[in-house]
A and B are shown apart, each in its own frame.
Chain A
Amino acid sequence: MSEQQAEVTTDYEPRIVAFLCKWCSSAGSDLAGVSRIQYPSNATPITVPCTGSISPNYILSALKKGADGVLVSGCHIGDCHYIEGNFLARRKIHLVKELLGFVGIEQDRFRMSWVSAAEGAKYSQVIKDFVEDLRPLGPQTKVKAGRS
């Protein structure tokens, strides 16, 4: 079983949807770009105004549409451009994690990080770490629509 799993994970590239807030994490990822800090291409970014605007529905929907992992990244707590949006987002993390566990999806498929506009290197590290942490989990098939 474990051998089989190891075999699966070698050529498996996790597909990640990364929701980035416009003010901090998206700007942080821009800085990673300007600084030419290389990181894996697994995560496709979707920029939203604020992490507070991310409904748990989006996270579940991304998994359902075939994502192996979902990242939500916003301003550091206390630094939210919209005063308290990231507090609202943080509250939802627990909800989503619980829910994932309840429906039998590995909770580690969902990750939240705080990356400021000055943290280009941190953004690249977040992506690197997430990709590496997703590999052992293998492809996500539990809620993927249309699975056999």
Chain B
Amino acid sequence: MTKKRTGVFVCHCGNNIAATVDVKKVAEAMSNEENVVASEDYVYMCSDPGQNAVLQSIKDNKLDSVVISCCSPNLHEKTFRDNAKRAGLNSFTCEIANIREQCAWVHKDKAVATEKAIKISRSAVRRAGRDQALEPIAVPVTRKVLVIGGGIAGIQAALDIANAGLKVILVEKLATIGGHMLQLSETFPTLDCSQCILSPKMVDVSRHENIELMTYSEVQEVNGSVGNFQVKIKQKPSYVDPELCKICDDCAAVCPVVVPNEHDLGLTARRAIHIPFAQAIPASYTLDENACLGLNPVRCGKCKDACDVGAINYDMLPKTVTEEVGAIVVATGYDLYAQEHMNELGGGQIDDVLDGLQFERLCSASGATKGHVLRPSDRTVPKDVVFIQCVGSRDPANHCAYCSKICCMYTAKHASLYKHHVPDGRAYVFYIDIRSGGKGYEEFVQRIMEEDEAIYLRGRVSKLYRKDGKVRVLGTDTLTGQNVEIDADMVVLALAMEPSKGTADIAKTLKIGRDKDGFLAEAHPKLKPVESVTAGIFLAGCAQGPKDIPETVSQASAAAAKVIGLLSQPTLSHAPTVAKVRNSHCTGCEMCVTACPYNAISLENGKALVNEVLCEGCGSCSATCVRSAIEVKNTTGLQIQEMIEACLA
């Protein structure tokens, strides 16, 4: 093996690294390493002059490999590899030594941090010493996209992608698309009718030639990688043929089963056979098999008898389809934190204590009370309504640590809607702070306080209980220092937003990460807010974190733009850091074949053979091979051994 000519470039990162790491000392130490023919430091290696200095050094010193000691490879590995390529080097002979996140930022003592930075840099130099020039593997692209979740985020992403001419499969768990936005009465700060702005988009989805809608369906399995994912989708039987269903309601009229209506959050009831709401897409009834008496015509069968067009089929079976897609957008949304968690606020057991979405259904013209704000318990008009913000949010000790972001605004909206319905009523709002960042948001809140005369009380509520047909609210006004007691007719809790049920499962299925609160994790909080860590999988909407509708729509469109950009390339490149077999060492024992999670290894003529397109380079094979006959390129056993040595030298 010919000796390498490696260059080391140590970045100060302004003071980010240089404050705790003696960068000159690191550069000097590296210059004494074998193979290293140039070792320099610079204040900002990623800047244009910094990159040019690396480029110049590669040319001047005839380097064949470089090590950049700087921030995490997640940030600038691509930057420096592209730069190396610009200088004529193979980009896979550029290694990153992470001396910022893993060193400078986590240690204070300059001497020890410098020593550790030297070890990390030396380790990268050793690795670079055995790096091979690799060329990306071209893989074909499937120009079809899976969008998971049919709320506003999924709808927006699906439409944007479909309008660009790509095929989309939109998968929704429930029987209709629309999501939580369709439950809303009006939207802040313009008080647009939520259904009026969403329904046309839903119809667009159903009529779009490029969108295949799969409601009542869930993604069960995802294999493959960017450009070529294989997804298995299971569709539950709705027992009603949407092509035949005329939404005449004859079936529901005879159905003997009454269950709470999820769309109205239990404020109304529905039958086992039902349409979730009038504007449902697909426009068809669905038979809820869990509520139905048993899909057994002998036991009931009334709905089937009532259906003139023969749309109901009790023998409908679940359908599983396998689709090939090039990219995936995950828009699985949020759920409200359950009232049951809030023991001091009644734990969901007190009548007339509602959550925010229930209040939306009370205000909505299509809702439980046809748009009249009435107490659920006795259908009287409530005259004193208490709105409580930050319920379950901003409470790291007991509930969610984060701010749910939209509650200040929707509570102001609720107070306003209430006052418009009941002008002589009193709306009290308990708040910690008012967070109204957004276009027209602050003005909106001010208007609700001044024109609608909502009474804002800064403080928290300590207890709610039922007393004399009312809800007694015990709270504090911290601005006056007084305890406050209100006998309210109704209480509305602005509960925290949490990732929708099933987010953990879908994250597992897709192999994408979640953050500490369970929301889907973006690849970088600032610079890659719509990408997941897995290439080809993008995030949109509240699945990624609490956000309002404009932000959700923006993120969905951003995810769509990323997908369109990705899939407009003729081929995609697959990382060439895949497993490689040394035939002379391979005994054909098949240990690697069984260890491979991707079925990428087969036995050909008694030797292991790697399918490079399927291989993801995890290295599970190499760890099982007793003869080191199979190894991942540029992460070989020899490289790891030398890195270990470098860490301990």
Which residue numbers of A lie inside 8 Å of B, CB to CB?
15, 17, 23-24, 26-27, 29-34, 36-39, 41, 44-50, 52-55, 57-58, 61-62, 65-67, 78-85, 88, 92, 116-119, 124
Contact = CB atoms under 8 A, between A and B. Distances in A.
B22 to A, nearest CB: 14
B513 A24 contact: yes
Contacts of B641: 58, 61
Interface of B: 72-74, 98, 100-109, 112-113, 115-116, 119-120, 123, 507-508, 511, 513-516, 521, 533-534, 577, 595, 597-598, 616-620, 622-624, 632, 635, 637, 640-641, 643-645, 647-648
B106 A39 contact: yes
B508 A30 contact: no
Contact of B107 (A15, A29, A38): A38
Contact of A33 (B102, B507, B645): B102
A119 B100 contact: no
A94 to B, nearest CB: 15
A30 B112 contact: no
Contacts of A85: 597, 618-620
A23 B618 CA distance: 11
Contacts of B618: 49-50, 52-53, 81-82, 85
A86 to B, nearest CB: 10
The binding surface of chain B is classed by DSSP as helix
A117 B101 contact: no
Contact of B640 (A29, A58, A118): A58
Contact of A52 (B104, B623, B637): B623
Contacts of A34: 101, 105
Which of B73, B105, B514 gathers the greatest number of chain A CB atoms within 10 Å? B105
B620 A57 contact: no
Nearest to A121: B516
A20 to B, nearest CB: 9
A48 B632 CA distance: 10
Given A44-B123, A50-B618, A62 B648 contact: yes
Contact of B623 (A39, A55, A67): A55
Nearest to B73: A47
A84 to B, nearest CB: 5
Which of B101, B120, B515, B624 gathers the greatest number of chain A CB atoms within 10 Å? B101
Contacts of A55: 622-623, 637
30 contacts: A17-B647, A23-B513, A23-B533, A29-B102, A33-B72, A33-B103, A33-B105, A34-B101, A38-B107, A41-B113, A46-B123, A46-B643, A47-B98, A48-B640, A49-B617, A50-B620, A53-B635, A55-B622, A57-B637, A61-B641, A62-B648, A67-B648, A78-B508, A83-B597, A84-B597, A84-B620, A88-B624, A92-B623, A117-B521, A118-B521
Contacts of B105: 33-34, 36
A128 to B, nearest CB: 11
A87 B196 CA distance: 50
Given A44-B120, A118-B514, 4 more contacts: A44-B648, A52-B623, A85-B619, A116-B513
A44 B516 contact: no
Contacts of A84: 597, 620
Contact of A49 (B101, B515, B632): B632
A78 B505 CA distance: 10
Contact of A17 (B577, B637, B644): B644
A66 B120 CA distance: 16
A41 to B, nearest CB: 4
Nearest to B112: A41
Contacts of A92: 623
A132 B214 CA distance: 54
A53 to B, nearest CB: 3
B516 A119 contact: yes
A99 B204 CA distance: 64
A41 B108 CA distance: 9
Contact of B597 (A29, A82, A117): A82
A45 B644 contact: no
Contacts of A88: 595, 620, 623-624
A54 B515 CA distance: 26
B106 A33 contact: yes
Contacts of B640: 46, 48, 58
Contact of B106 (A32, A50, A116): A32
B648 A17 contact: yes
B648 A15 contact: yes
A24 B511 CA distance: 11
A44 B508 CA distance: 30
A17 to B, nearest CB: 5
A79 B597 contact: no
Contact of A45 (B120, B533, B635): B120
B645 A49 contact: no
B98 A118 contact: no
A6 B582 CA distance: 50
A44 B121 CA distance: 11
A38 B507 CA distance: 30
Contacts of B637: 55, 57-58
A77 to B, nearest CB: 11
A17 B119 CA distance: 11
A140 to B, nearest CB: 11
Contacts of A29: 101-102
A30 B102 contact: yes
Which of B107, B624, B647 gathers the greatest number of chain A CB atoms within 10 Å? B647
A84 B514 CA distance: 18
A117 B120 CA distance: 20
A125 B335 CA distance: 32
Contact of A30 (B72, B119, B521, B597): B72
Contact of A82 (B73, B533, B616): B616
A57 B105 CA distance: 31
A33 B21 CA distance: 14
A41 B514 CA distance: 28
A34 B106 CA distance: 9
Contacts of B644: 17, 46, 58, 61-62, 65, 67
A81 B123 contact: no
A117 B533 contact: yes
A148 B521 CA distance: 51
A36 B102 CA distance: 10
B637 to A, nearest CB: 7
